[in-house]
């Protein structure tokens, strides 16, 4: 038995995709892949490493700059916020009692990276009086 809400949702998606094709913002082939939720096509859309050939250079720079930030900044590293080994956060405190807090969640599509890769975020904001908190979290299985 078909579900009416699912049929309506699919019809709405197909109508929206047709508008993008009509405006030249989406090819008919991509529309068809999206409409059937083709896993290979969807993976290609979210795989930024494949889209940015120099990604390793960027990651290396982030790592180097983050190590410097941790070395030169006031910080509390690996503060537990939950029972899991990945449930920790790094805190870059402010000298202000009423400091705003920047809670920076690293990217990686729940598949990659670590809070230590983005510590470089801290100094720019702490210099301006903010506290920076960078959480880690468990990554999705491959």
Q: Work out the average pLDDT over 10-21.
A: 75
Q: Please tell me the distance from the alpha carbon of residue 38 to that of residue 133, in angstroms, as a whole number.
A: 37
pLDDT recorded at residue 92: 97
| CA proximity to 73, closest of 101, 97, 95 | 95
Cα within 13 Å of Cα(99), Cβ side: 19
- Tokens standing for 17? 């995709």
Per-residue pLDDT tens digits for 91-103? 999 999 999 999 9
| CA proximity to 66, closest of 136, 128, 129 | 136
Q: Work out the average pLDDT over 4-30.
A: 75
pLDDT(1) > 50: no
DSSP 8-state class, residue 140: P
Question: Greater confidence, 96 or 32?
Answer: 96
């Amino acid at each position: 038995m078909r579900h009416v809400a699912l049929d309506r949702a699919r019809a709405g998606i197909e109508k929206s995709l047709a508008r993008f094709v009509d405006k030249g913002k989406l090819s008919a082939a991509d529309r068809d892949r999206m409409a059937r939720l083709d896993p290979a096509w969807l993976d290609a859309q979210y795989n930024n490493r494949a889209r940015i050939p120099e990604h390793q250079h960027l990651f290396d720079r982030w790592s180097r700059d983050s190590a410097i930030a941790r070395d030169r900044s006031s910080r509390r590293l690996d503060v537990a916020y939950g029972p899991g080994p990945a449930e920790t956060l790094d805190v870059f405190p402010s000298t202000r009692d009423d400091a705003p807090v920047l809670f920076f969640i690293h990217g990686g599509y729940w598949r990659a990276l670590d809070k230590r890769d983005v510590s470089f975020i801290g100094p720019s904001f702490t210099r301006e009086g903010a506290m920076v908190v960078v959480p880690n979290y468990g990554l999705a299985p491959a």
